[in-house]
Structure 1
Amino acid sequence: MGGTQSLALPLGKGPHHVGCTDVMVGQTRQGLFLRLFYPCLPRAGAEWPLWIPRYEYCGGLADFAHRSRHWCAPLLSITIGPCTPRSAQSWHPGASWWRHWSTEAGREEWIPYQRVPQGQKEFYFRNKQVHQRAEECVRALRLFKDISSGKSVPNILHQDFDLSVLKDSVDLTKVAVMGHSFGGVTAVLALVKEPSFRCAVALDAWMFPLENVLYPEVPKPVLFINTEKFQTPESIAKMKRLSSRNSQTKIITILGSVHQSQTDFTFLTGKLNTRIFGARGTLDPYKGLDITSRAALAFLQRHLNLEEEFDRWDNLLEGIGDSVVPEAPFCRSNL
């Protein structure tokens, strides 16, 4: 594993080894670019992928953190660039940077993190983005439907992994959508756009970009797992609008956690990077990850009819347990 012990990601606790491959289908906004994780058998000579595979991502992280690329990007490259992810149960940040190949020239082009243009209202800018992201979730599901049915899906990236091996291996009757921050509200919106998504898990969702007219249209249950230091009364009120319409929608808060506690950053950042990203709360990050994982698994078993024993953590869905409370501690008396 790259990096020092203090910068190590936790090992996975699931029953399977996990492989991953990058997939790109199409070269326009209607295409897809994603990393696919899948259960696998160990193979001699297999390599761990880098958590940050390209230096350009360090520049995007610096932009997202409102830091100078001149010093922050090299710092990130040195401190967490060599790290390798070894857990399928760790969660990734919801910020907006990715790479793109131009259709016309067939060349690689990097799209920088996009801030709200001067003079434009943030809601309309972010609302357009969240709809694009939710539509990408829908297209990803359709991609898996095509793969499962045996349809040939060409991967532009020409990875060694042949997507056709997944034929008849994906249970499309038990599909959930999950995301962190901007990805959390994306997951909520994806329920509106695609009936095949049976439920959503929203990690510290940033509810701001979702228009009010859509709240009555969210048809499926959502589990909101919030951190203590990020949410506002306005955001919690939006979540409660959904829980008031669906008794299976749950809202819990993990005490002692911050917004980045539900991402890999909480394990990858030393003292200096922690000051830059505010990546650690007072709760032990391993304990926070366990609470998040167990609550999500209990919720998924309940709504996907999984034949597991994750229901032993059902109490977490009611906000019952060490370091967990229902809703949000600063909102219960205000709303």
Structure 2
Amino acid sequence: LSVKAPMEMGSSSTEKFYRIPKGKGPHLVGCTDLMTENEVEGSFLRLYYPSCDATDNEEALWIPDKEYYQGLSDFLNMYRVVGERLFQYYVGSVTCPAKSNAAFKLGEKYPLLVFSHGLGAFRTIYSAICIEMASQGFIVAAVEHRDESASATYYCKKKSVSEPQEESTSNMEKEWIYYRKLKTGEEERWLRHKQVQQRVQECIKALNLILKINSGEEVMNVLNSNFDWNSLKDSVDTSRIAVMGHSFGGATVIESLSKEIRFR
């Protein structure tokens, strides 16, 4: 986990701040989340991209929800109450040098990377790598897999409402999915084979989704976001599309290359 310590520290531990290292490329970096459909079969990804200067936009948190602390605790065989407090203390304020919903940098066609995370990870864990690639001029779609290999993930489903709600009240809620551990006597290879097949389909879905946006088609994002998705029209160099991953994400890459000829 790549975290950069501050150059200066105040006298109080509450004044300590940490930050993912900046990319070394010439581009500023923005990021935004995209989720399609209100079902587990939809796509969920974080997009990292070359951005315009966005002084008014806040930097994204590295770990965006406390449920990810709970999932990491489960994955590391820690009590949730202990793990959540430790993660909150040590990395709860860690930000990324990527501005949330910053304006996309127009005027170029960028190569596209679809990124697959490893076991127990999720879409933001590899922010340092994704930000570096975006700073070098790539659009990076970091998929959050829902095959129960992520420490935690979620989809947004409609609430079952028994009484009328005010118009301002959201009718959506997060349905969390946590890492699935092996059952007693279960062979790991069968579970991993099933998971990697789902992961490949999620990577291909992410590719199709970004290419739809690139062609000017409107895509419904169920997450609240003020990012202008229309700005991505004609922004992808479709002759330069690749899939990238780490650990179990690397296995996903190999299988994806055998299933999808657009990945190079």
| TM-score, normalised by the number of residues in structure 1 | 0.55
Higher relative contact order (CA 8 A, sep 6+): 2
Question: Is 1:25–1:33's contact at 8 Å kept on the other side of the alignment?
Answer: yes
Counterpart residue number, 2:71: 60
Q: Which residue of 1 aligns with 2:20?
A: 9
Contact 1:28 1:103 in 2 (8 A): no
Instruction: Find the residue that maps to 1:46 and give its secondary structure.
Output: coil
Equivalent position of 2:48 in the other structure: 37
**Out of 221, 226, 229, which is 1:163 matched to?**
229
How many angstroms does 1:163 deviate by? 1.3
CA contact (8 A) 2:4 2:21 kept: no
The structure with the largest alpha-carbon Rg is 1
Determine the C-alpha separation between the residues in 2 that align with 1:103 and 1:124.
33
Greater share of helix: 1
Task: Give how far 1:8 is off.
Answer: 3.5
User: Structure 2 matches for 1:253-332, cutoff 5 A?
Assistant: none
Q: Aligned residue for 1:145?
A: 211
Corresponding residue for residue 188 of structure 2: 122
Matched, 1:192 2:193: no
Alpha-carbon distance, 1:109 to partner: 1.2
Residue equivalent to 2:59: 48
Aligned to 1:101: 156
Correspondence for 1:181 among 229, 243, 247: 247
**Alignment-derived partner of residue 132 in structure 2:** 89
Tell me the residue number matched to 2:13.
none
User: Given residue 135 of structure 1, which amino acid in structure 2 is its aligned partner?
Assistant: Q
Structure 2 gaps, min length 5: 8-17, 98-127, 134-139, 161-171
- Given the superposition, is the C-alpha separation of residues 42 and 141 from structure 1 closer, same or farther in structure 2, using an over 3 Å criterion? same
TM-score by length of 2: 0.69
Equivalent residue for 2:31, pick from 20, 25, 33: 20
Q: CA RMSD in A?
A: 2.4
Q: Deviations over 1:48-106 (max 9, x none)?
A: 01111111111111111122212122111111010001250289999612112235744
Aligned to 1:318: none
In the alignment of these two chains, the number of paired residues is: 197
Using a 3 Å threshold, how does the CA distance of structure 1 residues 80 and 3 change in structure 2: closer, same or farther? farther
Offset of 1:4 from its aligned partner? 4.6
Secondary structure of 2:77 counterpart: coil
| Cα separation, 2, equivalents of 1:104 and 1:131 | 30
